[in-house]
Amino acid sequence: MSPYLQSLAGGGLIGLSAILYLILTGRIAGISGIFGRLVQGSSAALNGAFVVGLVLGPMIYRAGFGSWPVVTITASLPLVIVAGLLVGIGSRMGSGCTSGHGVLGLARLSPRSMAAVATFLATGMLTVTLLRGSL
């Protein structure tokens, strides 16, 4: 499968998962919300089950394709710590992340999600551009 087709198919499954979760449970499959509520101990069984499923995903991929999906980490440890803190604080303050705003928010044509996606794409692009000195 070509990389782009594989990305499109993977994206389609992510969308299917998000909409199925809404149809079945009535809840938004926003990962920062699910993990945030799990950390707070709210609906621990439900949110915990989603996170366990999420961790099982790459294992199912490995069982089907015979190898782990590629994960290349280049960031240094201090950078990873700063990144984790910012992603944690930012996703809670901004009421969502790439999944809640990026997938379901855009699909629901929510103005808040459109503003959030435009903002995090802009600061993300700016950060990588400065980090890699691409300009």
Partner 1 sequence: MKTTVQQIGAALFCGALFGFGLSLSGMLDPARVQGFLDIFGAWDPSLIFVLGGAVTVAFAGMGLVRRMGHPVFADSFQLPTKTKVDMPLILGSALFGIGWGLGGFCPGPALASLSLGYGTVAIFVVTMAVGMILHDRLLAGRLS
User: Interaction with partner 1 in 67-106: which residues (CB under 8 A)?
Assistant: 68-75, 77, 79-95, 97-99, 101-104, 106
- Kindly state whether residue 42 participates in binding partner 1, applying the rule CB under 8 A: no
* Calpha distance 58→70 (Å, rounded): 10
Structure tokens at 108: 């629901």
Q: How far is the CB of 109 from partner 1 (least distance, A)?
A: 8
- Kindly state whether residue 9 participates in binding partner 1, applying the rule CB under 8 A: yes
* Calpha distance 28→104 (Å, rounded): 7
- Kindly state whether residue 6 participates in binding partner 1, applying the rule CB under 8 A: yes
* Calpha distance 73→53 (Å, rounded): 23
- Kindly state whether residue 23 participates in binding partner 1, applying the rule CB under 8 A: yes
